[in-house]
Chains A and B, each alone.
Chain A
Amino acid sequence: MRNVATIMRRELFAYFVSPMAYVVIIFFLGVMSLLFALYIGSGRAEAQMVDLFHTMVFLLLMVAPVITMGLIAQERNLGTIEILLSKPVRDAEVALGKYLAAVVLLLIILALSFIYPLIMEKYGSPDWGEILVGYLGVFLAGAAFIAVGLFASSLMSNQIAAAVLAILILLFFWLVGWISYSVSQQLGDIVRHLSVFENIQDLERGIFDTKPLIFFLSICYYFIFLTVRSLEQRRA
């Protein structure tokens, strides 16, 4: 566990010593603020939070691959992975440490975005229960996206390639629901369970359910597991 913390701390340092963390935060909050201003202006008070959460998930679809692209690919590219993996550290600790660093950055972004519901307090009376459930949904989706991005990064030694691969995998999970309408009923039901879009909808509306919770946690678990396997392969 100590090793996880050590690796996580180094990655967080790397995020904040480079422009990476700031660029991502500014991009995320910039787009959000613009849309928020539009929503407030249009006066569609009741739909506001749902739309904001939906936008957040969509933005994370693009932001998560950028946050994660360098985590392992950069170590391969620089060659630092050779020293790292010859230290007495388990592959799972490497994967988890890096994963958690990205999750902490995600939490920072989400914490800063909390300003929007706070502003909304002034305009009406938002339901805080629903907002917290919505945030839980956004967080779970983001954490799952990061796991996917981490796995993509473990396959590549080029950051951009890792980001593109991550976006492709995430787009698959986002759009897979659409296939469900053009295939048979049974297959369609199965495919819909895989869709991020379908799974996030209830949480965004503030309706808590264990099914999406299990869905996102499974994605996290499965892709971290794949990352560990990928590290074990030791492709030089």
Chain B
Amino acid sequence: MIEVKGLTKFYGPHPAVMDVTFQVSEGEVVAFLGPNGAGKSTTMRVLTCYLPPTYGEVKVRGYDVMEDSLEVRRNIGYLPERIALYPEMRVRQYLDYVGRLQGLAGQALRSGIDRVIEQCGLEERAQAIIGTLSLGYRQRVGLAQALIHNPPVLILDEPTIGLDPNQIREVRELIKSLAGQHTVLLSTHILPEAQMTCQRVIIINRGRIVAEDTPEALTAQLRRAQTTLVRVRGGDDALAKQILDLPQVNNVRPGDEPETWIVDSELGAECQADVARLVVEKGLDLLELRPVEMSLEEVFRELTMTENIENSE
């Protein structure tokens, strides 16, 4: 459904996306995962024909974004990262406008509008002026306009950004419900979100794809190691050394706060028990012992360790 081959995109002299190649097949829900500035939005803008590629071949349903741009755009529903709507229009009126631009008319247009209003929970706000809507509702209108023509391919750029936890859950449910009938490519920088909604994750960093796998495989790959935060009242460097000497511990470094250490170790609860026993045996107070979620940056460090990508920090 989506075929990207060797996509490179320059903004002036700066490459935002370098030699990106991937495919999404029919009915798949794929997440594009990457930290800020990775090139997720840039890739999506090329896919939606908003920006032309500098090099490379980009096809949607076999249509090339340069040669058959209009045909590509007919097959795509796009939710941009920065949801910009006309503040003076009413929700229904706006959907009518977008539906017409997508080529709908008459009964098809009316039923399309009704369908997305229901799908996105906009029934009560259908006559509201867009400028008066809350961010969450604007996001829904953004989704509604992307869905209005029931497109085979959906490109959603950070669809849950700025929503409250309830709305996030609703949007994720909605995306899951789209799987099967639609091919979905969504971007996010939240790993659990990708795991929750998608069948496959493409990880992109600094304009290049660094990993591509099912969420399960990626998590397994990441689970080879674990990180634990330890807080000990009166702990010192000597204690840190002793922790490092424990079996299974690979590394100990001071945490951001005083009297805390970050312990990198092999997977499993064994190491945490050892650390707790050690501290207590030394007669010190163990104040905190908890696993640390890997930040996305760490995930990338982990995944790209072998690829030797220069780190500017």
Contacts and interface: CB of A to CB of B under 8 A. Distances in A.
B80 A83 contact: yes
A2 B145 contact: no
A18 B88 contact: yes
A79 B100 contact: no
B197 interface: no
A3 B45 CA distance: 22
Given A234-B52, A236-B45, A87 B84 contact: no
Interface residues of B, number: 30
A13 B129 CA distance: 13
Nearest to A234: B51
A78 interface: yes
A24 B106 CA distance: 35
B5 interface: no
Given A6-B100, A79-B82, A83-B78, A17 B88 contact: yes
Contacts of B98: 83, 87
B84 A89 contact: no
A79 B78 contact: no
Nearest to B80: A82
A87 B85 contact: no
Contact of B85 (A6, A80, A89): A80
B84 A79 contact: yes
A193 interface: no
B103 interface: yes
Contacts of A14: 86, 88
B74 interface: yes
A15 B71 CA distance: 31
Contacts of B76: 86
A88 interface: yes
Contacts of A87: 73, 98, 101-102
A90 interface: yes
Contacts of B84: 78-83
Contact of B74 (A2, A85, A88): A88
A7 B98 CA distance: 10
Nearest to A93: B101
A80 B94 CA distance: 12
B70 interface: yes
A82 B78 CA distance: 9
B265 interface: no
B10 interface: no
A3 B80 CA distance: 21
Interface string B42-83: 000100111110000000000000000011011010101010
Interface of A: 2-3, 6-7, 10, 13-14, 17-18, 78-90, 234, 236
Given A13-B88, A87-B98, 20 more contacts: A2-B100, A3-B100, A6-B101, A7-B101, A10-B86, A13-B89, A13-B93, A78-B86, A79-B82, A80-B85, A82-B80, A82-B84, A85-B49, A86-B73, A86-B76, A87-B73, A87-B101, A88-B74, A89-B73, A236-B11
Q: Which 10 A-B pairs have the closest CB atoms?
A: A79-B84, A86-B48, A88-B73, A87-B101, A6-B100, A88-B74, A80-B84, A88-B70, A78-B84, A82-B80
Interface of B: 11, 45, 48-52, 70-71, 73-74, 76, 78, 80, 82, 84-89, 93, 97-98, 100-103, 105, 145
